[in-house]
């Protein structure tokens, strides 16, 4: 189903649903704390994966049931907008009350298989920022780490040569702890070293690892045909501050070009990999993104965007609460965090 502009394809269906006293109270509170017009602020949510069911090793991403409750809360209490509509309205200071956008980073296949039907059911249009170098069978380095630890047959793995010592893998909690140790140790290494170490873990796993975690090109087109938006997220998801300018520019531009060729239209939205201002990208990268023709870009700095926000450094927010009421209240509390991003 293709969503109508503003993600409102199911608006009439939602309006016919009986509201509980809690629904009425939360919607009233959201209206009072999240006005539109000149006082309007834009909340942009960030997701990565939506799991079909619980995963004992991947505990930070929502399941389909949890995501469904969150999207129902957005549809009930807020005004979901496509990012390409919300950005100019933010700049023009004419956002509707309770304005919110949903975004996904990286390009996981479960965004299509699991998240898309839920988004369509609730009439929420989302933007998918895709690291295009991993399409059609690729695997991101962090998933190589996770799947290698999942597949490792031994009770421990010796990473003393990495300065991490002997990591025990005898229980699920120990495997989770090993993943939590390895991922931050590799994240900010130069890309070639990071990928080489992840590949080493894969070799030591002793079993083939999954090759179906990321989207295929036809799934990108399916998202777009369903009314979702496609944004660029570089080719290989590097920390841009760890690259030379030529390599960083190439990552940004080639991602835009490949995705534009897939969906047969310009790609005008960008997400900085990892996304922390000053640490993961700098002022030079903001200029590169502007020069490449992107109309807006998003970071991972937590906050909400006001009319004075830099459209090429928009903050985002991840409300971790799985309970819909707490999820809603967390979004409303985040509206106080409107510090401008400066790199």
- CATH assignment at residue 230: 3.20.20.370
Considering the domain architecture, whether residues 130 and 231 belong to the same structural domain is answered as yes
Q: Measured on CA atoms in the order 47, 53, 147, 218, is the torsion positive or negative?
A: negative
Torsion, Cα 191 193 199 201, to 10 degrees, reads: -120
Of the residues 205, 221, 252, the one at which a domain ends? 205
Considering the domain architecture, whether residues 222 and 327 belong to the same structural domain is answered as yes
Confirm whether 342 is domain-assigned: no
* pLDDT recorded at residue 323: 83
* pLDDT recorded at residue 245: 97
* pLDDT recorded at residue 1: 45
Q: Tell me if residue 300 falls in helix, strand or coil.
A: strand
* pLDDT recorded at residue 188: 85
Considering the domain architecture, whether residues 87 and 43 belong to the same structural domain is answered as yes
Confirm whether 73 is domain-assigned: yes
140 and 106 Cβ atoms separated by less than 8 Å? yes
Considering the domain architecture, whether residues 167 and 27 belong to the same structural domain is answered as no
Total domains present in the chain: 2
Q: What is the pTM (predicted TM-score) of this model?
A: 0.90
Considering the domain architecture, whether residues 190 and 300 belong to the same structural domain is answered as no
| Cα 131-142-102 angle, rounded to 5 deg | 50
Considering the domain architecture, whether residues 224 and 316 belong to the same structural domain is answered as yes
Confirm whether 45 is domain-assigned: yes
Blockwise average pLDDT, block size 10, the chain, 343 residues: 45 48 72 70 95 92 94 92 96 93 97 97 97 95 96 95 96 96 92 92 92 97 97 96 96 98 98 94 98 97 92 90 84 78 65
Considering the domain architecture, whether residues 194 and 257 belong to the same structural domain is answered as no
Considering the domain architecture, whether residues 126 and 163 belong to the same structural domain is answered as no
| Cβ neighbours of residue 229 closer than 8 Å, sequence gap 6 or more | 82, 83, 84, 125, 126, 127, 128, 269
Confirm whether 340 is domain-assigned: no
Strand partners, 42: 305
Cα–Cα distance for residue pair 171/155, rounded to 1 Å: 8
115 and 58 Cβ atoms separated by less than 8 Å? no
Angle between helices 141-151 and 191-205 in degrees, nearest 10: 20
Residue 189 structural domain: 141-205
210 and 147 Cβ atoms separated by less than 8 Å? yes
Confirm whether 49 is domain-assigned: yes
Cα–Cα distance for residue pair 283/14, rounded to 1 Å: 43
| Cβ neighbours of residue 330 closer than 8 Å, sequence gap 6 or more | 319, 320, 321
* pLDDT recorded at residue 17: 47
Considering the domain architecture, whether residues 254 and 166 belong to the same structural domain is answered as no
Considering the domain architecture, whether residues 184 and 267 belong to the same structural domain is answered as no
For residue 104 the two structure tokens come to 């996904």
Considering the domain architecture, whether residues 72 and 26 belong to the same structural domain is answered as yes
Considering the domain architecture, whether residues 122 and 243 belong to the same structural domain is answered as yes
* pLDDT recorded at residue 173: 96
Of the residues 186, 205, 224, the one at which a domain ends? 205
- Specify the DSSP element, H or E, that contains 301: strand 296-302
Confirm whether 116 is domain-assigned: yes
Q: What are the respective helix, strand and coil percentages of the chain, to the nearest 5?
A: 45, 15, 40
* pLDDT recorded at residue 48: 96
Of the residues 160, 177, 205, the one at which a domain ends? 205
Confirm whether 341 is domain-assigned: no
């Amino acid at each position: 189903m293709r969503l109508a502009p503003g993600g409102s394809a199911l608006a009439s269906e939602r309006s016919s649903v009986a509201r509980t006293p809690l629904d009425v109270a939360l919607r009233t509170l959201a209206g009072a704390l999240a006005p539109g017009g000149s006082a309007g602020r834009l909340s942009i949510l960030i997701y990565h994966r939506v799991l079909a069911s619980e995963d004992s090793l991947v505990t930070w991403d929502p399941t389909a049931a949890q995501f469904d409750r969150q999207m129902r809360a957005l549809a009930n209490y807020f005004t979901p907008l496509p990012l390409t509509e919300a950005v100019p309205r933010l700049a023009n200071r004419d956002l509707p009350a309770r304005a919110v956008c949903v975004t996904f980073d990286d390009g996981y296949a479960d965004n299509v298989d699991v998240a898309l039907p839920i988004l369509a059911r609730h009439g929420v249009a989302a933007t998918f920022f895709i690291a295009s170098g991993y399409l059609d069978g690729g695997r991101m380095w962090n998933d190589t780490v996770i799947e290698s630890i999942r597949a490792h047959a031994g009770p421990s793995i010796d990473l003393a040569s990495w300065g991490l010592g002997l990591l025990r893998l005898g229980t699920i909690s120990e495997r989770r702890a090993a993943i939590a140790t390895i991922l931050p140790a590799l994240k900010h290494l130069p890309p070639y070293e990071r990928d080489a170490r992840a590949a080493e873990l894969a070799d030591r796993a002793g079993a083939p690892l999954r090759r179906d975690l990321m989207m295929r090109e036809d799934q990108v087109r399916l998202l777009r045909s369903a009314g979702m938006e496609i944004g660029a997220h570089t080719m290989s998801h590097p920390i841009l501050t760890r690259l030379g300018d030529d390599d960083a520019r190439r990552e940004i531009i080639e991602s835009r070009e490949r995705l534009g060729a897939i969906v047969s239209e310009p790609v005008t939205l960008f997400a900085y990999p990892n996304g922390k201002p000053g640490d993961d990208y700098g002022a030079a990268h903001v200029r590169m993104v502007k020069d490449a023709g992107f109309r807006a870009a998003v970071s991972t700095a937590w906050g909400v965007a006001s009319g004075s926000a830099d459209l090429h450094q928009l903050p985002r927010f991840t409300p971790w609460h799985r309970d819909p009421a707490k999820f809603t209240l967390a979004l409303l509390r985040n509206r106080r965090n409107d510090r401008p991003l400066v790199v």
